[in-house]
Every structure is written in C-alpha cells, then in structure tokens.
Amino acid sequence: MLEVEAHQQLKHLLRGEAGHWEHQLTLSRLVGRSLRRQDRTRIQLSAGGSERWWLALLVPLSLRSRHTVLVLDESQQQRLLQIERPRLLQSGLKLGCWTGYEPPPGDQIWLLTPEQLLEAHHSGQLRPEDHLVIPEAEWLPSRLRHAMTVQIDACHWEQLRAAFPSAGKGLLDLHERLSRQLVVLGGGANRDLVMPESALTMVRDLLQLLGSTPAPWCQLMSMEQTSWASWARMDPLTLQWCWQLQPLEPVIALDPLFYSHPWTLIHVDGGCRRHGEARGTAGDELQIDLRDAPRGEPLPIYLPRRQPLPNTEIFADHLLEQSRRLILGRSGLTAVLVNPPRMRQRLCSELAAEFGSRVTLESTAPETNGVVCCSWGWWLSHQHLLPEPEQLIAGMLPIASREDPLTAARVESLKRQGRDWFRSLLLPEALAILIPAIASLRQSGGRLAILDGRVRGRSWGEHVLRALEPWEALQRLRPD
C-alpha cells in the first residue's frame, strides 16, 4: 500500500538525522492513505512547526503524483523547487512538478497557486479525479479571498467610456455621484470607506443596458450583493478612488470545488476554526488531530487584573508605561504587537525616545536586545526570520475592527442570520492568530504580557485564557 511504502521511504530518508519530528512518519502515512483512498482528510498540527510537514507530505506525493494538485503560494513554491525537491532527489526520490495552466500529461504533481486554482476550476481544467493537497490551509480563506478580489480603478471607468461612447455621459454622471457620496462619508480621510449599498445596483442597471462588457465589469453582474463586501479607498488630495469587492466567505462560495474533488488539508492549531468555513463542503470528511501533547513548563503570562480597555483615553499611556517596565533590563528580543497603525507608530516613537535605536518598526534586523513594534500579521509572516523572542507584549488582542469594511460586512451577514457574530467570527479568528503567534515562546522559554484589559474585563476573556493553557500567572515583574 502507498502508506506503507511512504513510511519506509521516509524512515530511510530520516535515518541518521537527530531530533526529527515525532509525528513525521504518521503524517506521511495519513497523506498516503488519503491519496490512495481519495478521501477528504483534514489534519491538524501544533502551531510553531511550519516547516516540519514538508518531507512527510512530499514523500507520498513522489510515490503517487498522477492526478495530484498541490496548492502553494509563490513563496512555498520557491521553497519546494529550490530546497525540498533537491533534497528528495539526493535521496533517490523523483518528484515531477508541472506548473502549466493545463493538467500535466504524465506522472507529475500539478503545482497551482490559489489564483491558478480558481482559474483552473472556472475553466473546467480540473478533472474529477484530481486530489487537492493544501498545506497551511489555515491561510486558505484569506488567500482565496485575495485571489477573488475585484478591483475597479479610474482607468477601468475610462476604458468603459472608450468602449461605449454613447454611454459616456451616463458613466461620468454615475462616477461623479458615487464620488460625492464617498466624499461625504469620508470627509477627505485616507481610509477605506464602505461603498453605498445602492452603488452595485446602479452600476449593474447601467451595465445591463450596455450588454457584454470587459473585465472586471462583467464580474459585477454575477455577484450576489449580500455575499460580497464592497468598499473604496479615496486619495484625499486627488479625490480619486479605487473600488474593491471581496467575497465574505470564499470557501463557502467555492463549495462546488471542494464537494466535487477529494482533498487533503493540513493546518496548524487554531486553523481548524479559521478554515471551518469548509466544514459544510462534505459530510464524509476525516478529521485527524496530530497536535503535540503539552510538555515543558507552563507559559509565564503577565496579565494584571485591572487594566484599562483599548477604547479608553488612558489606554495609550497605560500601554506605554507597561511596555517600558517590561522592556527594561531585557537582554533578548522583545516584540510589541499592536494592530492599529497610528497607535503602533506612536508607541514605537515613544519607546524609541526612551530606548534609542533598540526600538524598530517592523524590522527583520533588530539588535540582540532589540524591540520590534509590529502588527500581528507582520509577526506571523516574519517571525521565522527573527531570533526566538524573550518576550511578546500583546498590546491589543488581534480582534478585527468593525471599522474594516470587510469585517463589518461579515458581521452584518451573521447578524442577518441571527448568529452570535463575536463568538462565531471575531473571537475564533483572533485565537487562530494568537495561538501560532506565541508558539515560539514555548520553545524559547520566554514570557507573554497581555496589556488588553478586555481579557480580564469581558466574559469571553476566559476563552482566551483556556486557549493559552498551560500557563502560569506572573504576579509582578522581577528584575533579572
């Protein structure tokens, strides 16, 4: 059987290597089983082991490549072709990688980015027997949402006017009407503005009179308005604006893709909720938990009981004062995680005034005892390029702001369904960011400081603390 052969090949490949991951052989067998049986399999791994799945995944793929679609983003594809594939070749395992837009003619895996996966699905290039293999599936919804984005710039309005001269005045009037509405909404601010609900309807009514239209306009005709978020970003100097539309739940929108193909999803701890949008795609999916058992000392957490809430006037001063105390005397790397850009930049400037060049803003080359002020997203994307941190300071939990048009649209959709939008959307997605963001602390023996008063002051704070277990409270800060 494929899983037995994959187990033997990987065991031979790992012979002589010290400290390899304990679940590597198990993962390889599970992937081989899913490929052989054409199952729909979801495998959950512990956070912090983003590089451990490569060999366990690629060995069974090298043994059975036909009708296998491996979905990787561009950086993952580079790693596969430049690092992992040569390693397999040195061990005598051949892995053919086909990167064309049409299905491979022989025994090669078909490498596709999320954008190419969508194109292959819509063009009918995917065959029913093609098995989708998606590592790091916790990022799949956001990657698909980005791939499905429809963007309309000023140049697209000009192209439409050039294609339909008789409708030029109507298009100009419509554009000016929308511009005036956005100016009123935004007051000239350089931020994302929710498009008026009538915008899509008005544009569609005009496009129907024109008949067949070029991209991206033709994509507007098939959109279900309640399933898409729509916003504009206006330049306050030129008053030019860019219209963007994104699907609220891209995996649900692609139900036919996941229902008609076998698939294997690999995601880290916390990603199951984040990718839970796909749970309705098939009722016969197999869920496997390969998370590591808790080991070592509990995570030290500094979490004072009485802290101001982020929406209070004194929170910025509280954040600065506590960060100063936490940074003082530290000999290793400190990361201060704050999402709102203005608050992050202000905090970085004030800490730099206190600690000098030690403090940087989203830099991958800090000093040994450096302080990196960054967003949660930046930290997740770049922490592998940095030394293991001695401490993380969570200035604010990574709870999405309802001022973000996409988040606001998703919340409104859940409200219409009568669901608890906070506990079913914002809180699970925040935990899906928090858990992998702090995973390096458990390896380095560092500490976590949470300066967000909502953890102690809101009932849902208990869910956050349970997700961080095992942990122990630091009642006071002690000098080294």
Query: How much is the average pLDDT of 350-365?
Result: 95
| pLDDT computed for residue 283 by the predictor | 55
Query: How much is the average pLDDT of 196-200?
Result: 89
Domain that holds residue 25: 2-139+250-289
H-type alpha helices, 64-216: 74-79, 85-90, 114-123, 140-147, 154-163, 168-186, 198-210
Take residue 417 and report the two structure tokens written for it. 């369904």
Query: How much is the average pLDDT of 21-37?
Result: 91
In a domain, 80, yes or no: yes
Q: Are residues 112 and 161 in the same domain?
A: no
Q: Are residues 285 and 421 in the same domain?
A: no
Q: Are residues 134 and 237 in the same domain?
A: no
Q: Is the pLDDT of residue 111 over 60?
A: yes
For residue range 360-371, what is the model confidence (pLDDT) as tens digits? 999 999 999 999
| pLDDT computed for residue 276 by the predictor | 41
- The band of 155, judged by pLDDT with boundaries at 50, 70 and 90, is very high
In a domain, 145, yes or no: no
For the chain, the straight-line distance linking the first and the last C-alpha, in angstroms and rounded, comes to 56
Q: Are residues 48 and 156 in the same domain?
A: no
Q: Are residues 206 and 127 in the same domain?
A: no
Q: Are residues 254 and 115 in the same domain?
A: yes
Q: What is the pTM of this model?
A: 0.88
| pLDDT computed for residue 124 by the predictor | 92
- The band of 185, judged by pLDDT with boundaries at 50, 70 and 90, is confident
Query: How much is the average pLDDT of 127-145?
Result: 93
CA distance 58 to 438: 28
Please check whether residue 233 is in contact with residue 246, taking contact to mean a CB–CB distance below 8 angstroms.
no
Please check whether residue 392 is in contact with residue 449, taking contact to mean a CB–CB distance below 8 angstroms.
yes
For residue range 397-418, what is the model confidence (pLDDT) as tens digits? 999 999 999 999 999 999 999 9
Least confident of 48-57, 195-204, 253-262, 315-324: 48-57
In a domain, 305, yes or no: yes
| pLDDT computed for residue 49 by the predictor | 61
Q: Are residues 173 and 239 in the same domain?
A: yes
Judge if the upstream peptide bond of residue 247 is cis by omega within 30 degrees of 0: no
Q: Are residues 278 and 308 in the same domain?
A: no
In a domain, 348, yes or no: yes
Residues with Cβ within 8 Å of residue 168, at least 6 apart in sequence? 161
**Scanning the structure block, which residue is given the tokens 């100097």?**
237
Q: Are residues 236 and 263 in the same domain?
A: no
Q: Are residues 446 and 410 in the same domain?
A: yes
Q: Are residues 135 and 225 in the same domain?
A: no
Looking at 237, 264, 289, which one is the last position of a domain? 289
Q: Is the pLDDT of residue 217 over 90?
A: yes
Query: How much is the average pLDDT of 10-37?
Result: 85
Phi-psi group of 477: left, alpha or beta (phi > 0 → left; psi -120 to 50 → alpha; rest → beta):
beta
In a domain, 418, yes or no: yes
In a domain, 344, yes or no: yes
| pLDDT computed for residue 184 by the predictor | 84
In a domain, 419, yes or no: yes
Residues with Cβ within 8 Å of residue 278, at least 6 apart in sequence? 140, 251, 252, 258, 265
CA distance 23 to 31: 12
User: How many domains, in total, are found in the chain?
Assistant: 3
| pLDDT computed for residue 272 by the predictor | 41
Q: Are residues 238 and 257 in the same domain?
A: no
In a domain, 174, yes or no: yes
For residue range 277-332, what is the model confidence (pLDDT) as tens digits? 444 444 578 999 988 776 668 999 999 988 999 999 999 999 999 999 999 988 99
The domain spanning residue 383 has which CATH number? Answer: 3.40.50.300
For residue range 220-264, what is the model confidence (pLDDT) as tens digits? 988 888 899 999 988 877 778 999 999 999 999 899 999 999 999
Query: How much is the average pLDDT of 368-381?
Result: 95
The pLDDT > 90 percentage for the chain reads 70
Burial tier of 200 (Cβ tally within 10 Å: 0-12, 13-18, 19+): middle
